[in-house]
């Protein structure tokens, strides 16, 4: 159960709550506390807003970190007017960039912030405001990705329990441990008999009329989306078990497995496909997690669904219904090419490989994902890619950390822009000769020349492996111009 506790599944925004203290602790942002660290460290930063207006309050919603270089703060009056406007808007704090207009933060501004108890941080010369926005945006993306990942893992685990005929109480206990609190299946009659409804309880309806799944607990409740996914699994568990249907799915799974492995001719599936009404001149195989068969039968009533010990295979008429079902069930799935019956084995093989990618990316994957460099790398064991990181990227990281250089970010930008020197220089706000110099240093440190295609491919693989071993949020951004 501890596996599910590495990310929070309570509430829709909890993971994205970045505080001003969090931002000040990010080395790449280079922020320095000036005033009210004790007050501001725990304040949540909803977004970063850059402004040079004396009164930007009409453009603020509250909770922002306001960033400015103080081009309009020329005297005591303007400083006090500016801070008063920020305080009235309910901002989290003020970030003042020195070096562009003011060599130091104006004393009047510091005094005004002290009086208003407005947290104040300094961004020194060369520390870009846009890096703060990028960090906050990355946190939001990471929060959504983590929430999707936790939801998929929880639902997959519950489905595995359903497959082993685990009792309903076990499913509710697993979910309660993952999200915190207690889950129960309640009826309208039982709820009506209670003297009052509990404050903070969350309910989602179940398929059986008059029943619902109820969460009770302390703190933030789970997201409604998560509870709806759990409710679908509970519906399957509560339904009467059709032993014959289960055995039929297992027999179909065995046959689909043999066809996908090339050990049986696809024509053996014809009676099963006919029974489901699947047109055999054009069909698509999709692969799903183990235990998903019961849910797929409900959402894909015209599909041939086969259950195996380690995964589920469905054969449908098209891809659209597969994608719709994956979104509704919050389950990873891989799908193969559209084929005829005689080539169904190829579609099954592709679907299985695509499922591996989908489980890592937490989004449905199709055959096109298998033909990309990223798709190829996703299928490689991590230990196979580790030497690329150790031998190529690690020397660059150590140099950047020790000397405050930008080799990793320069390489990333250069590769993303297909090796165009001028475009790289423009994006990094440096001279093209600076890019050439950094690439020469990269060649010296790694033994790989970014200007040579074969070496460039090795650098791409190494950088991909490095980025995918990073924690959510990735490596610090390189320094650049303030914008």
**Which tens digit of pLDDT belongs to each residue from 209-222?**
778 888 888 777 88
Q: Which of the two residues, 184 and 51, has the higher pLDDT score?
A: 51
**Which tens digit of pLDDT belongs to each residue from 65-81?**
999 999 999 999 999 99
Q: What is the DSSP letter of 198?
A: P
In 154-303, beta strands by DSSP E: 182-187, 202-205, 211-216, 284-289
Who's near 285: CB < 8 A, 6+ residues apart?
Answer: 256, 260, 313, 314, 315, 335, 336, 339, 344, 347, 348, 350, 351
Q: Which of the two residues, 469 and 350, has the higher pLDDT score?
A: 350
Separation of alpha carbons 433 and 437, rounded Å:
6
Q: Which of the two residues, 149 and 254, has the higher pLDDT score?
A: 254
Model pLDDT, residue 370: 85
Mean pLDDT of the chain: 85
What's this model's pTM, rounded to 2 decimal places? Answer: 0.49
As a whole number, mean pLDDT of residues 297-308 equals 90
Separation of alpha carbons 361 and 145, rounded Å:
9
pLDDT band, residue 469 (cuts 50/70/90): confident
pLDDT band, residue 17 (cuts 50/70/90): confident
Who's near 305: CB < 8 A, 6+ residues apart?
Answer: 249, 252, 293, 296, 297, 312, 313, 314
* CA proximity to 353, closest of 372, 329, 327, 326: 372
**Which tens digit of pLDDT belongs to each residue from 417-430?**
999 999 999 988 88
* Longest CA pairwise span in the chain (Å): 86
pLDDT band, residue 470 (cuts 50/70/90): very low
**Which tens digit of pLDDT belongs to each residue from 408-455?**
999 999 999 999 999 999 988 889 999 999 999 999 999 999 999 999
Model pLDDT, residue 14: 44
Asked if pLDDT for residue 1 goes beyond 70, the answer is: no
* CA proximity to 161, closest of 6, 291, 258: 291
Model pLDDT, residue 112: 96
**Which tens digit of pLDDT belongs to each residue from 138-149?**
887 777 666 677
* CA proximity to 326, closest of 371, 295, 291: 295
Asked if pLDDT for residue 114 goes beyond 90, the answer is: yes
**What is the SS3 assignment for 258?**
helix
Assigned token pair, 408: 């990793």
Asked if pLDDT for residue 308 goes beyond 80, the answer is: yes
**Which tens digit of pLDDT belongs to each residue from 336-386?**
999 999 999 999 999 998 998 888 778 899 998 888 887 778 767 778 889
**Cβ neighbours, 10 Å, residue 454:** 8
Separation of alpha carbons 321 and 301, rounded Å:
11
Who's near 139: CB < 8 A, 6+ residues apart?
Answer: 15, 16, 18, 473
> CB under 8 Å, gap of 24 or more: what pairs does 270-275 form?
270/341, 272/304, 273/304, 273/315, 273/341
Asked if pLDDT for residue 93 goes beyond 50, the answer is: yes
Asked if pLDDT for residue 59 goes beyond 70, the answer is: yes
Q: How many residues does the chain have?
A: 483
Asked if pLDDT for residue 3 goes beyond 50, the answer is: no
Model pLDDT, residue 12: 38
Model pLDDT, residue 4: 36
Model pLDDT, residue 2: 31
Give the rounded percent of residues in the chain with a pLDDT score beyond 70: 89
pLDDT band, residue 108 (cuts 50/70/90): very high
> Please, what's the b/e burial string for 288-301 (b: 16 or more CB within 10 A of its CB; e: otherwise)?
bbebbbbbbbebbe
Residue with tokens 């007050």: 39
Model pLDDT, residue 190: 63
CB-CB contact of 310 with 292 (8 Å): no
**Residue 311, CA atoms < 13 Å, CB-side half-sphere:** 23
Model pLDDT, residue 224: 82
Give the rounded percent of residues in the chain with a pLDDT score beyond 90: 49
Model pLDDT, residue 86: 97
Q: Which of the two residues, 296 and 381, has the higher pLDDT score?
A: 296
Residue with tokens 């602790």: 25
CB-CB contact of 20 with 43 (8 Å): yes
**Which tens digit of pLDDT belongs to each residue from 27-44?**
889 999 999 998 899 999
- Type and span of the H or E element at 103: none
Model pLDDT, residue 162: 79
Residue 420 CA to its chain's centroid (Å): 30
**Which tens digit of pLDDT belongs to each residue from 175-196?**
888 888 888 888 776 666 555 5
Assigned token pair, 476: 């610090």
What does the angle CA 211 – CA 215 – CA 216 come to, to the nearest 5 degrees?
130
Model pLDDT, residue 10: 42
Q: Which of the two residues, 198 and 482, has the higher pLDDT score?
A: 198
Model pLDDT, residue 475: 40
């Amino acid at each position: 159960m501890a596996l599910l506790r590495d990310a929070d599944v309570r509430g829709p925004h909890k993971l994205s709550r970045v505080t001003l203290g969090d931002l000040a602790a990010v080395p790449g942002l280079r922020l320095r506390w000036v005033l009210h660290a004790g007050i501001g460290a725990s304040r949540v930063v909803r977004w970063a807003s850059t402004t040079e207006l004396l009164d930007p309050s009409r453009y603020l919603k509250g909770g922002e970190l306001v960033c400015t270089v103080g081009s309009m703060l020329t005297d005591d009056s303007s400083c006090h007017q500016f801070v008063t406007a920020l305080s009235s808007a309910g901002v989290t704090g003020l970030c003042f960039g020195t070096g562009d207009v003011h060599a130091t933060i104006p004393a009047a501004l510091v005094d005004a912030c002290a009086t208003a108890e407005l947290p104040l941080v300094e961004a020194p010369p060369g520390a870009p405001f846009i890096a703060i926005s990028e960090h906050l945006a990355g946190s939001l993306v990471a929060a959504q990705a983590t929430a999707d990942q936790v939801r998929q893992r929880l639902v997959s685990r519950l489905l595995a329990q359903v497959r082993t005929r685990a009792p309903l109480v076990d499913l509710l206990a697993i979910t309660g441990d993952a999200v915190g609190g207690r889950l129960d299946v309640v009826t309208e009659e039982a709820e009506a008999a209670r003297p009052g409804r509990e404050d903070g309880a969350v309910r989602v309806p179940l398929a059986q009329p008059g029943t619902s799944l109820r969460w009770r607990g302390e703190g933030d409740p789970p997201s409604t989306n998560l509870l709806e996914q759990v409710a679908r699994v509970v519906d399957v568990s509560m339904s009467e078990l059709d032993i014959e249907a289960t055995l039929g799915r297992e027999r179909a799974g065995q046959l689909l497995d043999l066809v996908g492995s090339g050990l049986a001719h696809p024509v053996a599936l014809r009676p099963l496909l006919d029974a489901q009404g699947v047109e055999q001149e054009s069909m698509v195989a999709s692969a799903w997690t183990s235990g998903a068969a019961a849910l797929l039968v409900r959402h894909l009533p015209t599909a041939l669904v086969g259950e195996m010990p380690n995964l589920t295979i469905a054969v449908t008429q098209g891809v659209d219904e597969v994608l719709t079902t994956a979104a509704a069930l919050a389950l990873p799935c891989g799908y193969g090419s559209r084929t005829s019956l005689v080539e169904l084995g190829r579609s099954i093989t592709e679907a299985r490989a695509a499922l591996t990618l989908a489980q890592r990316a937490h989004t449905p994957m199709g055959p096109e994902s298998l033909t990309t460099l990223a798709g190829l790398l996703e299928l490689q064991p991590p230990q196979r890619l580790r030497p690329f990181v150790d031998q190529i990227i690690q020397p660059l990281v150590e140099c950047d950390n020790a000397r405050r250089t930008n080799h990793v970010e320069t390489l990333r930008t250069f590769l993303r822009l297909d090796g165009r020197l001028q475009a790289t220089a423009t994006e990094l706000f440096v001279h093209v000769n600076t890019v050439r110099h950094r690439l020469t240093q990269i060649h010296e440190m790694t033994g790989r020349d970014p200007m040579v295609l074969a070496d460039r491919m090795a650098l791409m693989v190494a950088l991909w492996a490095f980025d995918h071993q990073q924690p959510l949020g990735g490596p610090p951004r390189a320094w650049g111009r303030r914008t």
